[in-house]
Amino acid sequence: MTSKKVDAHELDLIFNRMVETMNQSKKDIFIISEQSRRSYEEMLAELEKVRSDIHRVIDEGDVLEEKAHVARKRLAEVSKRFSSFTESQVRLAYEQANDLQVQLSVNRSEEKQLRHKRDELERRLHQLLQTIERAEHLVNQVNVVVNYLTTDLKEVSSELENAKLKQDYSLRIIEAQEEERKRVSREIHDGPAQMMANVLLRSDLIERTYREKGAAQAFQEISSLKEMVRNALIEVRRIIYDLRPMALDDLGLVPTLKKYLATIEDYNTECRITFQSEGTERRLPANREVPVFRMVQEAVSNAIRHGKARHIQVKAEWLKNQVTFIVKDDGTGFDPSVVKQQSYGLLGMRERVDLIDGKLFINSAPGSGTVLMFQIPLNES
């Protein structure tokens, strides 16, 4: 069985069509979201008017109720002493009482209709809000796919010139994805999921504490529960930040690295991480900033998890035609000749460096820490 040669140009065309389709889908979803948002605002204004009308009708009804009460009292007096009043006075008393009763009935009917309209508007507003939230969620998902297609995935198109390489690389991608899924799943299971399970248990405990020991003790348990929920939220945000920091698109590489390294240091209190940038900093194209950030992220993660480092130094040196990143740690170190064939982390860094025409250097030995250095050219070509 012969393998079919992959046309890189054809593959690029397929990628471009996929990206165009996803971008068009994102625009369509955004239009739906904006239309729903405008409808929501118009309906909200209508709801406020209906609520105002309800208050007005209720006030008018109270006045009519009072007048009707007076008219009925007058009619009862006329009926009781019928012979003491003229025919016109009797007729006027009956007409006033009847007219006020009719007005009050109309008022009650109008109030009922307005209340029904208010309830219907509130229901439709809730549905519109759900539609807006779903649309925003879909836009975020499409953004993730587009970013993947235009950065990590598209960068490997030139490496898929023959079928065998494509198959091998696809298998490595699948394995790396599965490992990442396992890692995220394990972090969620060991972190937020356990915390949420504890929240449920503590909530039952609070109920029992309230019944058996009173409100004061229950309030103490509630304070502890709030702290547990706060810690779960912090853990969820950390996991999200590890997946992809949004600041990379807005602030650029250096500010994002500073924030990322500070966050990692906060979560690993036994390890001190320093960052230094020398030279004139500048923004890199997105297809270079993302790989550089991932390489620093992988190097720091390896130093903490595998090297058990207590001190990590990250340094960026900006020159005219290139930028050099150095990650140095005082961890356990390793033998590069042995590990490089077994570590997908190092393999991934080498592939990312190759995709952006950079160079990777590793200096390490068991018990002597590790120095990783990668140089990235700054010329656009």
pLDDT tens across 314-352, in order? 999 999 889 999 999 998 888 877 755 455 567 777 877
Residues 136 and 20 in one domain: yes
| 156 falls within a domain | no
- In DSSP terms, 324 is beta-bridged to 317, 375
Q: How far is CA 320 from the centre of its chain?
A: 38
Whether residue 3 is predicted with pLDDT greater than 50 in this model: the reply is no
pLDDT at 209: 79
pLDDT at 325: 94
Name the residue among 256, 379, 246 with its Cα closest to residue 316.
Answer: 256
Residues 282 and 352 in one domain: yes
Other C-beta atoms lying within 10 Å of the C-beta of residue 250:
9
| 90 falls within a domain | yes
Lowest mean pLDDT among 38-47, 120-129, 210-219: 210-219
Other C-beta atoms lying within 10 Å of the C-beta of residue 233:
12
Domain boundary residue among 209, 243, 277?
Answer: 243
Q: Taking all residues of the chain, what is their mean pLDDT, rounded to a whole number? A: 78
pLDDT at 76: 84
Residues 273 and 359 in one domain: yes
How would residue 1 be classed by pLDDT, with cut points 50, 70 and 90?
A: very low
Domain boundary residue among 208, 243, 278?
Answer: 243
Residues 193 and 276 in one domain: no
Domain boundary residue among 130, 150, 170?
Answer: 150
Range of the domain at 251: 247-377
Q: Which two tokens stand for residue 170?
A: 């696809």
Q: Which two tokens stand for residue 238?
A: 């950390």
Residues 190 and 252 in one domain: no
Name the residue among 243, 242, 278 with its Cα closest to residue 261.
Answer: 242
Whether residue 295 is predicted with pLDDT greater than 80 in this model: the reply is yes
Amino acid at 162: N
Residues 202 and 276 in one domain: no
Amino acid at 197: A
Distance CA 48, CA 236 (A): 37
Contact at 8 Å (CB) between 361 and 351?
no
pLDDT at 2: 44
The answer for residues whose C-beta is within 8 angstroms of residue 212's C-beta and 6 or more apart is: none
C-alpha angle 287-293-296 in degrees, rounded to nearest 5: 140
Residues 132 and 168 in one domain: no
Residues 140 and 208 in one domain: no
Task: Give mean pLDDT, residues 166-190.
Answer: 62
Contact at 8 Å (CB) between 357 and 185?
no
Distance CA 356, CA 295 (A): 12
| 3 falls within a domain | no
pLDDT at 239: 66
Other C-beta atoms lying within 10 Å of the C-beta of residue 183:
13
| 155 falls within a domain | no
| 26 falls within a domain | yes
Q: Which two tokens stand for residue 340?
A: 């490089």
Whether residue 371 is predicted with pLDDT greater than 90 in this model: the reply is yes
CATH number at residue 312: 3.30.565.10
Residue 152 burial class via C-beta count within 10 angstroms: exposed 0-12, middle 13-18, buried 19 and up: middle
Residues 183 and 314 in one domain: no
Q: How far is CA 28 from the centre of its chain?
A: 21
Residues 182 and 313 in one domain: no
Concatenated DSSP letters of 30-41: HHHHHHHHHHHH
In the chain, the number of structural domains is 3
| 373 falls within a domain | yes
Residues 235 and 255 in one domain: no
Task: Give mean pLDDT, residues 275-286.
Answer: 87
| 131 falls within a domain | yes
Contact at 8 Å (CB) between 8 and 142?
no
Residues 349 and 371 in one domain: yes
Name the residue among 253, 352, 272 with its Cα closest to residue 312.
Answer: 272
| 1 falls within a domain | no
CATH number at residue 17: 1.10.287.950
Distances (CA, A) of 95 to 60, 68, 75, 76, 373: 20, 11, 10, 13, 99
Distance CA 160, CA 148 (A): 17
pLDDT at 154: 52
Task: Give mean pLDDT, residues 34-54.
Answer: 86
Name the residue among 244, 79, 40, 264 with its Cα closest to residue 147.
Answer: 244
